[in-house]
Amino acid sequence: MPTVGNTVDDGAPDATAEAVTTFGQTAGRTVPGSLLACRAMSSRMSPNTSRSTSRAHRRGLLLTAVLALVLIAALVGTRPPEPPPPQQPSGTMEPEPDAAPTETPDEAAPTETPDGAAPTEPREFTIAMTGDILPHGAVIESAAANAADADADHDFRPMFAQVAPLLGSADLAVCHLEAPLSGDNQDVVGGGDDRLPSGAPRFNAPFELADAIADAGFDTCSTAHNHSSDAGPQGIIDTIDHLERVGVVPVGTAAEPQDARSAHMHDVEGVTVAHVAATYGLNDPLPDDQAWMVDRIDPEWILDEAASARDDGADVVIVSLHHGIEYQVEPSDNQRERTEVLLGSDDVDLLIGHHAHVVQPIERVNDKVAVHGLGNLLSNMHPDITGPRTQDGVVVTVEFVEDPDRDGFEADAVTYVPTWVDRDDHEIVDVGATLADDDLRGDPLDDDRRAELEASWDRTVDAITREGADEWGAVPLDPPG
């Protein structure tokens, strides 16, 4: 949905204070489709053959040595030493129960590190990220209809049902909430004819959306975007309050000056991940004395904050930017320039982009991953007005593995799941799984719906791979057919 002034994505920096908060992440999740289990199985299985061969070789040498000693003793007329128990040929009998097995190099005790601690396996974790959540009026109406059997005015949870398992399987799930949340649902609006003085549509979503975000498995949301101030300073505070009420960490906005312009630290499977978020600008500017409430894009500040987060113990730093040109698949010049600067720093490991409302390419930049644009996860954008790509979104999962040679982490695997918003009830459809199962809400796909989903799949794969992501290993999960 077009908004006034959004084709220019430059934002001026704000001068505000820094602060750091921490967050505890639920452990024990695995990423779907990961090859780690296969790799681990391979590494466990391969040494067995070498162990058996090595044991057999040593046993043969030992038997030969004993016989040689007996022969030498007989020749010189001395009493030979008591021979050890006969050795069985390899592979014919198990070792004696009480015999201590001889260690092969594979079985030897691990070499201690200089500080005396045994070496550990490299740490690893996954981050899942999704497109914009922009609740238009029709989305809010669907949530009200869903609430007929719920103890609330609105129920957004069914809309996320198909993607919730995927989000729940990630170690850290990151959303982009592109609307403020109403404190008490007294001023709910979802764009349309309700406009700001700038002419841009105004949003203020029902607070129950926060409950659905948490229920879907999100751990944190970037909240810095051009609609952050649509409900004024109080709307920013209400959004923070409701997300924190359900245990989701907002990043990029602040209710207190001391919390402004600061990375948020997440404990993810024992790895400290710092998250910074910022926007190119606001549709409704805040008063100067409250401009600190929304973080604005300033690469120099972001790099300073990333370095500060490293000093505070961050192992990985991710950056979410709300920027680009709406409805354009190709990243803008500003997007590319910021990406080069940020991923050119040793302190930033991953860049996540939003705002274009269409899926954009995934690239490796300076051997790091840039997810330029994730499309729309939830909205009511109309294909006849803003184009069919605005119904598309994608869930991207990046697997990070510790690299001892780099003294840090690197993105080891990238997978993605194309999504599509069903505007009948605003359910977020897992495109590949739905096509493969030939099932949508318990009914077989008709020809028209199948054609829509196949076209959506093709559009998303086309956008993701335009810069060669398929050549370096970014792959879709569960491709249809």
- Cα gap 103→55, rounded to integer Å: 9
Q: Is the pLDDT of residue 100 over 50?
A: no
Hey, how many other C-beta atoms are within 10 angstroms of the C-beta on 371?
A: 27
Q: Is the pLDDT of residue 60 over 90?
A: no
The proportion of the chain whose per-residue pLDDT surpasses 90, expressed as a percent, equals 71
Q: Considering only 12-21, 400-409, 464-473, which range has the smallest mean pLDDT?
A: 12-21
* Confidence at residue 42, expressed as pLDDT on a 0 to 100 scale: 32
- Cα gap 186→234, rounded to integer Å: 13
First to last CA, the chain: 33
| Number of residues assigned to the chain | 481
Contacts of 381 (CB under 8 A, 6+ apart): 1, 134, 136, 357, 390, 391, 421
Q: Is the pLDDT of residue 265 over 80?
A: yes
Q: Is the pLDDT of residue 49 over 60?
A: no
Q: Which has more confidence, 230 or 33?
A: 230
- Please check whether residue 447 is in contact with residue 480, taking contact to mean a CB–CB distance below 8 angstroms: no
Q: Is the pLDDT of residue 34 over 60?
A: no
The domains of the chain are located at 48-110, 125-476
Q: Taking Cα atoms as reference points, which of 186, 232, 229, 191 lies closest to residue 206?
A: 186
The pLDDT confidence band at residue 26, using thresholds 50, 70 and 90, is very low
What SS3 state is found at 257?
A: helix
What's the predicted TM-score (pTM) here?
Answer: 0.78
The pLDDT confidence band at residue 99, using thresholds 50, 70 and 90, is very low
Tens of pLDDT along 164-202? Answer: 999 999 999 999 999 999 999 999 999 999 999 999 999
* Confidence at residue 480, expressed as pLDDT on a 0 to 100 scale: 83
Could you tell me where the DSSP H helices lie in 196-320? 208-216, 232-245, 299-311
What SS3 state is found at 131?
A: strand
Q: Are strands 475-476 and 189-195 parallel, antiparallel or unpaired?
A: unpaired
* Confidence at residue 117, expressed as pLDDT on a 0 to 100 scale: 59
What is the arithmetic mean of pLDDT over 38-49?
32
Rg, C-alpha atoms of the chain: 29
Q: Is the pLDDT of residue 470 over 70?
A: yes
Could you tell me where the DSSP H helices lie in 255-375? 299-311, 333-343
- Phi and psi angles of residue 40, each rounded to the nearest 5 degrees, phi first: -65, -40
| Per CATH, domain 125-476 is 3.60.21.10 | yes
H helices then E strands: how many in the chain? 10, 18
* Confidence at residue 407, expressed as pLDDT on a 0 to 100 scale: 83
The pLDDT confidence band at residue 121, using thresholds 50, 70 and 90, is confident
* Confidence at residue 404, expressed as pLDDT on a 0 to 100 scale: 83
The pLDDT confidence band at residue 115, using thresholds 50, 70 and 90, is low
Dihedral over Cα of 298, 395, 317, 272: its sign: positive
Q: Is the pLDDT of residue 23 over 60?
A: no
> Average per-residue pLDDT in the chain?
82
* Confidence at residue 325, expressed as pLDDT on a 0 to 100 scale: 98
Tens of pLDDT along 439-469? Answer: 888 889 999 999 999 999 999 999 999 999 9
Looking at the DSSP bridge assignments, the partners of residue 124 are 401
